[in-house]
Structure 1
Amino acid sequence: MRKMLVTIALAVIIIGSILNWNDTDPEVIPEETTPVTQHEQDATVQITFPADRYPETAQHIQNAIESGHPATCTIDRDGAENNRKLSLRGVETKKGYDRDEWPMAMCAEGGEGADIEYISPSDNRGAGSWVGNKLEEYPDGTLVEFIFE
């Protein structure tokens, strides 16, 4: 009987290790995450874009919104690279200018059909950095509304 219990115990240990039942594995480090409540995900975040610092980008976004593009953006960082490829496909580069997109590539609404305008690199990159810093604390799926004063 004792031999049978030892055999069962060993079988459980072996099966447990195969199925990774050992949750005290020192190699596994849990990710630190900040829990986001459903209310936070459902709320629209409003940011006031500094049009005085980045006037070309501000004007482009406002023109794009007036022509029917959304004033809101759903954060989707994982989709940014593909959105950028889709939105800029067929839009030639122009020496001394960046191709600015609205909705931005980091928005789920971005990609094919985005409004593209040539603007100065300093304005475009400064605005992109500003937006990235402003939104870094928000998870993907957050809806952001851009306000201009």
Structure 2
Amino acid sequence: MSLIIVALLALGTYWFGEDGQSTSPATSSDKDIVQLVFPSERYPETAKHIQDAISSGESAICTIDREQAEENRSQSLKDVPTKKGYDRDEWPMAMCQEGGEGADIAYIKPSDNRGAGSWVGNQLENYADGTRVELMFR
């Protein structure tokens, strides 16, 4: 219950600012970092991979760069063979400026990986390229 209250307070502060003025997520400045609480209980393999990758030195920040996603994915996965029954999960994600060559790759069950990808995509759909994002884990 307290986690829900904290999340609602954080959202209220984000949407309306500490001064109560309405703000839009699509207009955050380059200095702002959008923090999203990742649903680790729903996507535990992906959550563990992201946390492990960050602990190993990968960037904790994702700067949205959708135009570069296909090239980043190609670069990050080029030397990682496919494995039957698994997806290759990347951190930083391909849609991040920080992604691409050198990204941390883990084999994840498709339902976990694709569900997490869909969740992240839905959360970020209204944010412009250049928005900096940090996934939070509780």
Matched residue of 1:123: which SS? helix
Q: Which amino acid aligns with 1:132?
A: G
Q: Are residue 118 (structure 1) and residue 120 (structure 2) matched?
A: no
Any stretches of 5+ residues in structure 1 without a counterpart? 1-33
Q: Are residue 140 (structure 1) and residue 129 (structure 2) matched?
A: yes
Matched residue of 1:42: which SS? coil
Q: What is the CA deviation profile of residues 83-120 of structure 1, one whole-angstrom value per residue up to 9, with x for unaligned ones?
A: 00000001000000000000000000000000000010
Q: Which amino acid aligns with 2:76?
A: S
Map of 2:12 onto structure 1: none
| Alpha-carbon distance in structure 1 between the residues aligned to 2:81 and 2:100 | 16
Map of 1:103 onto structure 2: 92
Q: Are residue 90 (structure 1) and residue 79 (structure 2) matched?
A: yes
Map of 2:52 onto structure 1: 63
Map of 1:42 onto structure 2: 31
Matched residue of 1:122: which SS? helix
Matched residue of 1:129: which SS? helix
Matched residue of 1:84: which SS? helix
| Alpha-carbon distance in structure 2 between the residues aligned to 1:94 and 1:114 | 18
- The structure with the larger Rg is 1
Map of 1:54 onto structure 2: 43
| Alpha-carbon distance in structure 1 between the residues aligned to 2:65 and 2:107 | 24
Any stretches of 5+ residues in structure 2 without a counterpart? 1-23
Map of 1:127 onto structure 2: 116
Give the counterpart of 2:61 among 66, 72, 91.
Answer: 72
* TM-superposed deviation, 1:40: 3.0
| Alpha-carbon distance in structure 1 between the residues aligned to 2:63 and 2:30 | 11
RMSD: 1.3
| Alpha-carbon distance in structure 2 between the residues aligned to 1:118 and 1:70 | 19
Give TM-score scaled by structure 2 length: 0.79
Size of the alignment, in residue pairs?
A: 114
Map of 1:29 onto structure 2: none
